[in-house]
Amino acid sequence: MVNLHLDPVGKKKVFDHLIEIGKMSSTGHIGTHLDCCTCAPEKPEYEISAVVLACKDGMPDVETLAELGTLEGKALVLHTVNHETNGYGSPEYFKKETFVSKDTLEKIFELKPLFVIIDSHGLGQSGPTHVSIDKNCEAHHCHVIENADLSS
């Protein structure tokens, strides 16, 4: 094995391409972060309200989200307990499916949250699907904050 170091800022196009074609996984991310694929949040700091959904037994569906009402100007927190149960970065952590359906994602967009915060590795499978969901969220003025430590 040969160790290779590429500067992710200087070689952003290379990294983006490798992730897009599935040759590089985002499992190397460290800690809580948001991916800015097409744009960054408008402000460097936010103080907002949040609505927390317990997702230990599964991700929310359209009907569950419809009961929330508007989330405009707020954060939607999806508490899956993955971080707490499996430990960040473990094989079990990345095996837990905390993904949402297209219909669920569209319903989230209708509710207009500024952020979706999840204590897991994202809303879609690593690789092109993950990147596509992040880009779609950003197009709807929403950013996904993943790997949040919501441990009790």
- Could you report the per-residue pLDDT of 110-136, keeping only the tens digit for each? 999 999 999 999 998 888 888 999 999
Q: What is 16-80 written as a DSSP string? A: HHHHHTTSS-GGG--SSEE--SS---SSS-----EEEEE-TT----HHHHHTT---TTSEEEEE-
What does the pLDDT average to over 92-111?
95
What pTM was computed for the model? 0.80
Q: What is the pLDDT of residue 29?
A: 59
Alpha carbon distance 123, 116 (integer Å): 9
DSSP-derived letter for residue 126 is T
Sheet with 115-118: list strands edge to edge: 33-34, 143-146, 115-118, 75-79, 50-54
Q: What is the pLDDT of residue 9?
A: 63
pLDDT digits (tens, 9 = 90+) for 36-64: 889 999 998 999 999 999 999 999 999 99
Q: What is the pLDDT of residue 151?
A: 83
Q: Look at the block and give the residue holding tokens 């996984």.
A: 25
Domains of the chain: residue spans and CATH: 12-40+47-146 (3.40.1390)
CB burial of 100-134 (b: ≥16 within 10 Å; e: otherwise) equals beeebbebbeebebbbbbbbbbbbbebbeebbebb
Least confident of 4-13, 35-44, 66-75, 106-115: 4-13
Assigned token pair, 100: 């949402």
DSSP-derived letter for residue 114 is S
